[in-house]
Amino acid sequence: MSAKQPVVQVEGLSRSYGDFQALRRVSFEINRGEVVGLLGRNGAGKTTCLKVLTGLLLPTEGRVFLEGNDIVADPMAARSRIGYLPENPAVYAELTVLQYLRFIARLRGVSEAEFDALFEKVTSKTGLEKARHSLIKHLSLGYRKRVGIAQTLMGHPPLLIFDEPVSGLDPHQIVEMRKLVRELAQDHTILLSSHILTEVSRTCDRVIILHRGEKVAEFQGDELNNLEERFLSLTGGEMEVGR
């Protein structure tokens, strides 16, 4: 693929649940190396959008390409480009971090020969060195989220998709997670969702605002300095500003 081709292309994406339209004709692109945030109030359609991108839900209308691969026509090729952290990751509590990441690596086709080096790299990147042999059920939520992020890195996906990566974390863990996302951004393109305004404005290069299933605006650079005002004037009502 050419260096200029967007990593993500979303064209007129709609998704309904029965009669209810959760996403309406949403279009955006994400270029290589960008950290982009999907910001919206609860129910705005963020999770639905991320689930369509990761192939967990089919679009009702519109098209999505990941590195040029159509997620409907060529789902396997598209999915191989993504590491996905769901809002509530199903990590296996009875396994150690090492056992869990080995299991995920096998699912993603990482060879045994490659695994040890990848495990070292990923656990050091995510700050899990000391927790490698801990049972996941004994880890704090912040560390479990790190395990969730570590699993996204198994198999070298160029695109990371994180659904509400800071939800449930305490202020210290939020700061740590923000640093981790910025570090990962050195080698990945990242799309994350959040309903916390400060989180996206501090972590992301560009912010896409979803409101009632529609994309209502995109902001970047200096525009992120007064995101709160911009957000409220677009969506009205209260917003969780965050810590």
List contacts with ligand ATP (CB under 6 A): 17, 20, 22, 40, 42-48, 195
State in angstroms the smallest separation of the CB of 31 from ligand ATP: 24
Cβ distance to ligand ATP smaller for residue 16 or 173: 16
Which residue type does 21 have?
A: Q
The total number of residues shown for the chain amounts to 243
In angstroms, rounded to a whole number, what is the distance separating the alpha carbons of residues 219 and 81?
A: 26
Minimum distance from residue 9 beta carbon to ligand ATP (Å): 20
Q: Could you tell me the two tokens for 226?
A: 């007064």
| DSSP string over 207-221 | EEEEETTEEEEEEEG
Nearest approach in angstroms of CB 58 to ligand ATP is: 13
Quick one: 28 or 119, whose CB is closer to ligand ATP? 28
Nearer to ligand ATP, 22 or 136 (CB): 22
CB-wise, 180 or 210, nearer to ligand ATP? 210
Alpha-carbon span 215 to 2, nearest angstrom: 27
Q: What minimum distance in Å lies between the beta carbon of 46 and ligand ATP?
A: 4
The whole-angstrom separation of Cα 23 and Cα 9 is 16
CB of 128 to ligand ATP, least distance (A): 27
Nearer to ligand ATP, 49 or 150 (CB): 49
**190's tokens:** 């990242």
Long-range contacts of 18-21 (CB under 8 A, 24+ apart): 21/60, 21/213
Minimum CB distance to ligand ATP smaller for 19 or for 222:
19
Residues 95 and 136 sit within 8 Å (Cβ to Cβ): yes
CB 43 → ligand ATP: shortest distance, Å?
Answer: 4
Produce one character per residue of 184-219: b if its CB has 16 or more CB atoms within 10 Å, e if not. Answer: bbeebbbbbbbbbbbbbbbbbbbbbbbbebbbebeb
